[in-house]
Amino acid sequence: MVYITPDMDKFNNKDVVYKGRFPEHDNEMAISGKFASDYGYGIGDEVKLDYGDKSFSYLITGLVQSCNNDGREILMTEEAAGHMTDMSLTPAGIWFDCDNKEESQAILDACTEKYGDKLETTLNFYDVIDGALTTFKSVTTLMLVLMLSISAVVIMLILFLFIKTLLYNKRKDYGIYKAIGYTSKDLILQTAASFMPAIVISVVIFSVLSYILANPYMQTIMVNFGLMKCTFAIPVPGVIMIGAGLVILAFCFAVFQARKIKNIQAYQMLTEM
């Protein structure tokens, strides 16, 4: 898929060429990073294109980031495309820059009503984007749920082992505490709270590392779909909410595990002489 434009400066998204620069001259083009990676091309290499009975060699000036067309895409100017085809004979389309899906659809409906069968096709890009994002959202949501589930299971497993060992080794101490007036509720809350400083520190470190490494991690996965450089905006409130949720989960599980303190009897400190 070749995207041809008379003026590369009018691209709204300048990050589409994530490495190198946009093509400017009639012997230059930018190719998708996935295609370049798959076939061993790099910036500065020449690629010969064949179209019908014409062929021309183009210099690669940049790498394009794209998830469309299996990553097989090219950007070039109209002058560059003129080496391969007569641009004056190329079928034309009209593009409307609309602020929302409803406005776009209203224009398409008006064009269909006015021109009828004379229109080859119409396309609302908001629908295309919604369709693409649906799959992407499903993948990222699944990844998030999977990572959180693993984190929660690991936290609960560690707490289970620690608390079980603690109750076994400290059962005499708990019996003494009960004998001098501590209730089971007091001991349960104190035991659960004793693990919280380590849990909070771990969650804070985990959250900071997740914020820093989220884009590199996503990039290792999304590169297979043509997304070569991830620059997603990581929502800080979301990271804080997840961290707080893990802390609350850990505390609740620690309280649940420490309930076994109820079964420990008060230690008999006085014995008959």
Asked whether residue 249 falls in the same domain as residue 168, the answer is yes
* 183-212 per-position pLDDT tens digit: 888 888 888 898 889 889 988 998 898 888
Domain count across the chain: 2
Q: Is 47 helix (H, G, I), strand (E, B) or coil?
A: strand
Q: Which two tokens stand for residue 120?
A: 């080859």
Q: Is the pLDDT of residue 257 over 60?
A: yes
Residue 18 confidence (pLDDT)? 86
Q: Is the pLDDT of residue 126 over 70?
A: yes
Q: Is the pLDDT of residue 5 over 90?
A: no
226 confidence band (pLDDT: 50, 70, 90) = low
Amino acid at 243: G
Residue 248 confidence (pLDDT)? 92
Give the containing element (helix H, strand E) for 167: helix 125-169
Query: Is 112 contained in some domain?
Result: no
Residue 267 confidence (pLDDT)? 63
Residues 6+ apart with CB under 8 A from 155: 199, 246, 249, 250, 253
Asked whether residue 144 falls in the same domain as residue 207, the answer is yes
Residues 179-193: b if buried by 16+ CB within 10 A, e if exposed: eeeeebeebbeebbe
Query: Is 101 contained in some domain?
Result: no
Q: Residue 158: how many CA atoms within 13 Å on its side-chain side?
A: 13
Report the C-alpha gap between 235 and 66 in whole angstroms: 24
216 confidence band (pLDDT: 50, 70, 90) = confident
Provide the CATH number for the domain around residue 34: 2.40.40
Report the C-alpha gap between 50 and 158 in whole angstroms: 62
* 74-124 per-position pLDDT tens digit: 899 988 988 888 877 777 677 788 888 888 899 989 988 888 888 888 888
Full residue range of the structural domain in which residue 162 is found: 135-263
Query: Is 108 contained in some domain?
Result: no
Amino acid at 269: M
To the question of pTM greater than 0.85 for the whole model, the response is: no
28 confidence band (pLDDT: 50, 70, 90) = very high
Asked whether residue 142 falls in the same domain as residue 253, the answer is yes
- Give the residue carrying structure tokens 């006015």: 114
Query: Is 15 contained in some domain?
Result: yes
Using the Cα atoms of residue 149, residue 151, residue 154 and residue 159 in order, give the sign of their dihedral. Answer: negative
